[in-house]
Structure 1
Amino acid sequence: MKNLPQKVRSRKLSSRVDLTAMVSISFLLIIFFMVVGELSKPKGANLNLPDNGDIVCGPIGHIKGYRLYTILLNDNNKIITYTGILPNPYEMPKMFEFGKSGIREEVFQKKEQIKKYAISIGKPKSSVIVIIKPSPKSNFQNLVDILDEMAIAKIDSYAIVNDFTPEETHLLALK
């Protein structure tokens, strides 16, 4: 008999795959994307604005001048403040700079001063109304900084206004 070639049987290899490394990498990727997603959320100050249908315009003649505190933002991080209406202010304009001993201290003092005065005249619910007027020469960081000061001092009523009276324009031109 002839020698027939024998069939060569292939050896079966183990079909087990070690997935330990892939599981570790997938967990690391999940953690990475969760952290990146959390860090990429925009951070900002809350600015409370009225709803679209609730904007009411009208004269402010019924607001007493002692409650109005105006902050003019000028160039070079300079701030000019006054109380009342500029043609007849309750206090003469003052110049400040940003910082803990600058405008922050003044805003705290003004808030307490107006609160005490309102209590003395029998209107304990009256509080300070701050009008913030950034000049065209001021930068956006100044506006953000003054809004931070409003949040730190817990000023409830403030407005950002872009209209300058001639007296305010003249006051800003003086250095």
Structure 2
Amino acid sequence: MAELNTSEKSSSKTKKMSKKVDLTAMVDLAFLLITFFMLTTTLSKPTAMNIIMPFGDEPSPVKLSNTLTLCLGANNKLAWYSGTNENPDNFDVTNFDKNGIRSVLINRSKNILQQTGKNLMVLVKPSNHSQYKNLVDIIDELNITKIPSYAIVDITKEDISRLEKKGIY
């Protein structure tokens, strides 16, 4: 039994009784509450993003006019271009916020859907100087903008040289 003893020395004629407080009920209540909350709490379940992989070894053909290539660079920057990158002026640098790559994805997707009736295909090319967080951010942006088709591919030497010219490699 838990007790709290507070004894005071008695003075000359008055005799004071010691005060006892029984803390057993308080301890029992604390353990009951801890047990209750442990049993009723649900633990959060880890969530994962579903990625659909293609069947077979043969890649499916995609028109280059329906593609958008994203080259992930250093300093949380990325460069993008549409179709083939034969024209160096067609290599724009942006960032990962909603006014950056999200608006590019939304506008390009709408244009491709209106022109061809097909969905936009996005090629993501992470460089050696990009961060893993940037790749996750891009996949999140693709899910937010509802881009159904995308692939993560190796970056080419031409893309690396253009990233160096833009100062984000």
* TM-score normalized by the length of structure 1: 0.70
The answer to whether 1:135 aligns with 2:127 is: yes
Q: Report what 2:90 is aligned to.
A: 92
- For residue 38 of structure 1, give the secondary structure of its aligned residue in structure 2: coil
Of residues 26-35 and 73-82 in structure 1, the stretch that sits farther from structure 2 once superposed is 26-35
Q: Report what 2:160 is aligned to.
A: 169
Q: Report what 1:25 is aligned to.
A: 31
Letter of the 1:38 counterpart: L
Deviations 1:107-144 (A, max 9, x none): 110110111111xxxxx2x1100111111100011111
Is contact 1:69-1:84 (8 Å) kept?
yes
Letter of the 1:152 counterpart: I
Q: Report what 1:12 is aligned to.
A: none
Deviations 1:57-85 (A, max 9, x none): 3355x321111111111000111001112
The answer to whether 1:48 aligns with 2:51 is: yes
Q: Percent identity?
A: 31
For structure 2, the residue ranges without an aligned partner over 5 or more in a row are 1-23
* TM-score normalized by the length of structure 2: 0.72
The answer to whether 1:109 aligns with 2:100 is: no
Deviation at 1:34, TM superposition (A): 4.8
Per the alignment, do residues 75 and 33 of structure 1 end up closer, same or farther by CA in structure 2, a change over 3 Å counting? farther
- For residue 31 of structure 1, give the secondary structure of its aligned residue in structure 2: helix
The answer to whether 1:82 aligns with 2:81 is: yes
Per the alignment, do residues 151 and 34 of structure 1 end up closer, same or farther by CA in structure 2, a change over 3 Å counting? farther
Q: State the superposition RMSD in angstroms.
A: 2.7
One of 40, 43, 50 as aligned partner of 1:38: 43
- For residue 92 of structure 1, give the secondary structure of its aligned residue in structure 2: coil
Per the alignment, do residues 151 and 22 of structure 1 end up closer, same or farther by CA in structure 2, a change over 3 Å counting? same
Is contact 1:87-1:167 (8 Å) kept?
no
For structure 1, the residue ranges without an aligned partner over 5 or more in a row are 1-17, 119-123
Per the alignment, do residues 33 and 172 of structure 1 end up closer, same or farther by CA in structure 2, a change over 3 Å counting? farther
Distance across 2 between alignment mates of 1:116 and 1:103: 20
Per the alignment, do residues 31 and 78 of structure 1 end up closer, same or farther by CA in structure 2, a change over 3 Å counting? same
